[in-house]
Amino acid sequence: MNVPPPPSSLPDRDAAILAAAGRALARDPRASMATIAAEAGVGMSAFYRRWASKDALVLALNLQFLAAYEAAINAANEMLDSGAPAVDVLGDHLHSLLGDEETYHADPTVGLPARGTPEHERWLAVSRRNQALFERFSAEGALREGVTFVDLGLVFTAATSAHGETPDRTVELRHRLLDMLIDGLRPGAPPLTGRGPTTVDYYGENGRRPASSPASNPDCGA
């Protein structure tokens, strides 16, 4: 698989197409390449000259999200270092990841960089830093008893499932839902029901999300 250039080096036209693709996939993770091209306002031939498959496109979006994710982790650690209350930092961190635009959020089971590439090593490094940030939130009392790292993934997935009549309304509903979900993470609440989720619960037996994932569409190349 050819790895696309990082977002900072993308031409303006490619960046605009990626933004349009993010909007289309946010509304429907199964959106076809034709639907995405129409959203971007380009012909299919021009689209395929940039990304040979939907899998390559999702990889480009995932790498774009990874850069934002890395920046959010840095910001959260800096706020904790400054003495900001961990409970507040956790909420700000999750809201910053959700963002202020209707866009696709990375699915960690689809469109990943090929193993052994620098991009894959970076993906793993950011994942480890994210795990360490969760452990810091937990140690500093930001989470209720029993909340796991995978629980936070489920919370974020739930928030990104909200959709409104317009892109702005979608963003508003997602942040509103996230506020309610964050309240359920705070310490002092009653014990959680059942066992915590595992990575198999989140990713599935074969490391793939079920039908809501872009990989469920044949265009994804998965």
Query: Which residue stretches of the chain have pLDDT < 70?
Result: 1-11, 102-112, 203-222
53 in a structural domain: no
Positive/negative CA dihedral, 72, 59, 203, 121? negative
- 75 within 8 A of 96, measured Cβ to Cβ: yes
46 in a structural domain: no
User: Which one, of 101, 113, 123, lies nearest residue 174 by Cα?
Assistant: 101
1 in a structural domain: no
Inter-CA distances, 57 with 97, 112, 213, 216, Å: 20, 11, 14, 15
The pTM assigned to this predicted structure is 0.75
Give per-residue pLDDT as tens, 68-111. Answer: 889 999 999 999 999 999 999 999 999 998 888 766 665 555 56
Q: Residue 112 CB: number of other CB atoms within 10 A? A: 21
141 in a structural domain: yes
- Give me the number of domains the chain comprises: 1
Q: Which domain holds residue 113?
A: 63-220
